[in-house]
């Protein structure tokens, strides 16, 4: 009998999502997707591990059935030289300790090339999942160093399986990198509380790491244009974007109808989606945003410029405007028309209930992984 394959997820910033006690550290959608999938596979009896940064936790600590190995402390090492040690050396050492059949990682970066090299040397498999549309276009890559861009291209070409978030990403990978991929749905935690409109005290919610591609300045502009509407902004600073964060924070604090929260740990964020009447996204580069799924799971309509696979427009899950003026108009309509809001909220909740049960979400991953390593258990209701 063939033993079940072992799977190791690699994401240096995953621990703050996996373990609430580390939630004060920065994490984003990429980390959330890995943590959700790792826990779901562990619940199905698979041997699941994860390689993360060293936050001071014990090596080998287990969280919700996922065994963790620490690679390196991001604050240690001599600039430039630390790329090799402790970062590359620490990653490979953790991969040896994990000793997995399949290594799974996400988001464009030099780490993909490093992981693929290790896997090829040791006869293991690598799965890469896109985290943004920018991962699929050479011109838009959010990878700053030439070295890391080359490692990413090397790894993308040689990964055993590439998973895309949307059909649009699949087409872009084929066009821009001549790389085949397989579309799998993003994951989310379902069965969220869904409040009535009158029980929600946040008119408009914005959530995201504050960086230029998220275009936070547009939310500031809308808050000024719509002084009667209460805006809430959640987000923390990103490396190389600290000045932008301080500028946005300073400006936001001067707008009376805008509440600037700063960073909020993932384990506390659901409360804000539950309270929001509308969720707004101002990004011009995304993949399939986790924030959309979190909003819809709470019955909160989404108003966003980017509409992956045209889901918002096709299913009436909010509004997909083409300009700032149109976005303001969409928000005003949903605020003013209770029946319109209730219909969009109901459709949002039903969309999540019908398409995003855990069994349905995980099935696509198990099917894709089975092509790499036979022996994965069948999908059954949990």
Q: What is the pTM of this model?
A: 0.84
Cα three-residue angle 151-156-158, rounded to 5 degrees: 100
pLDDT band, very low/low/confident/very high, at 119 (cuts 50, 70, 90): very high
For 44-77, what is each residue's pLDDT tens digit?
999 999 999 999 999 999 999 999 999 999 999 9
Q: Do domains 6-187+357-372 and 197-355 have the same CATH topology?
A: yes
Q: Which residues contact 359 (CB under 8 A, 6 or more apart)?
A: 379, 380, 381, 382
E-assigned strands of 53-155? 62-63, 66-70, 102-106, 125-129
- 6-187+357-372 — its CATH code? 3.40.50.2000
List beta partners, residue 66.
48, 63
For 89-116, what is each residue's pLDDT tens digit?
999 999 999 999 999 999 999 999 999 9
With a pLDDT cut of 70, the percent of the chain lying above it is: 96
Domain residue extents for the chain: 6-187+357-372, 197-355
Rounded mean pLDDT, 130-154: 94
Q: Which residues contact 197 (CB under 8 A, 6 or more apart)?
A: 277, 338, 341, 342, 345
For 244-294, what is each residue's pLDDT tens digit?
999 999 999 999 999 999 999 988 999 999 999 999 999 987 778 889 999
CB 279 within 8 A of CB 300: yes
Q: Which residues contact 280 (CB under 8 A, 6 or more apart)?
A: 204, 205, 206, 219, 222, 302, 303, 304, 327, 331
Give DSSP secondary structure letters for 145-203. -HHHHHHHHHHHHH-SEEEESSHHHHHHHHHHH----EE-------------GGG--EE
The span from the CA of 136 to the CA of 285, in Å, is: 11
Report pLDDT for 375.
56
Superfamily for domain range 197-355: Glycogen Phosphorylase B; (3.40.50.2000)
């Amino acid at each position: 009998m063939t033993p079940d394959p072992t799977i190791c997820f690699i994401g240096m910033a995953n621990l703050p999502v996996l373990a609430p006690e580390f939630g004060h550290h920065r994490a984003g959608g990429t980390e959330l997707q890995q943590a959700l999938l790792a826990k779901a596979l562990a619940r199905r009896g698979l041997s699941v591990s994860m390689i993360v940064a060293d936050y001071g936790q014990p090596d080998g600590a287990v969280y919700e059935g996922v065994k963790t190995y620490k690679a390196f402390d991001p604050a240690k090492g001599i600039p430039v030289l630390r790329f090799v040690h402790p970062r590359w050396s620490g990653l490979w050492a953790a991969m040896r300790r994990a000793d997995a059949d399949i290594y799974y990682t996400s988001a464009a970066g030099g780490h993909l090339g490093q992981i693929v090299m290790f896997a090829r040397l040791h006869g293991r498999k690598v799965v890469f999942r896109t985290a943004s549309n920018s991962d699929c276009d050479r011109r838009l890559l959010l990878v700053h160093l030439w070295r890391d861009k080359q490692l990413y291209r090397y790894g993308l070409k040689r990964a055993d399986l590439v998973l895309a978030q949307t059909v649009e990403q699949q087409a872009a990978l084929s066009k821009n990198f001549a790389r085949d991929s397989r579309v799998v749905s993003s994951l989310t935690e379902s069965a969220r509380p869904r409040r009535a409109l009158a029980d929600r005290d946040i008119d408009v919610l914005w959530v995201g790491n504050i960086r230029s591609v998220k275009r936070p300045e547009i939310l500031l502009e809308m808050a000024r244009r719509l002084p009667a509407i209460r805006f809430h902004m959640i987000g923390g600073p990103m490396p190389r974007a600290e000045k932008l964060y301080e500028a946005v924070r300073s400006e936001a604090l001067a707008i009376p109808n805008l509440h600037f929260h700063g960073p909020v740990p993932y384990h506390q964020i659901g409360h804000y989606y539950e309270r929001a009447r509308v969720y707004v996204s101002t990004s011009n580069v995304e993949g399939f945003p986790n924030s959309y799924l979190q909003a819809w799971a709470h019955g909160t309509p989404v108003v966003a410029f980017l509409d992956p696979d045209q889901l918002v427009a096709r299913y009436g899950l909010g509004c997909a405007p083409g300009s700032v003026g149109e976005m303001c108009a969409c928000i005003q309509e949903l605020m003013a028309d209770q029946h319109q809001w209730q219909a969009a909220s109901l459709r949002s909740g039903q969309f999540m209930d019908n398409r995003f049960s855990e069994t349905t979400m995980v099935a696509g991953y198990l099917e894709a992984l089975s092509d790499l390593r036979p022996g994965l258990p069948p999908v059954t209701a949990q």
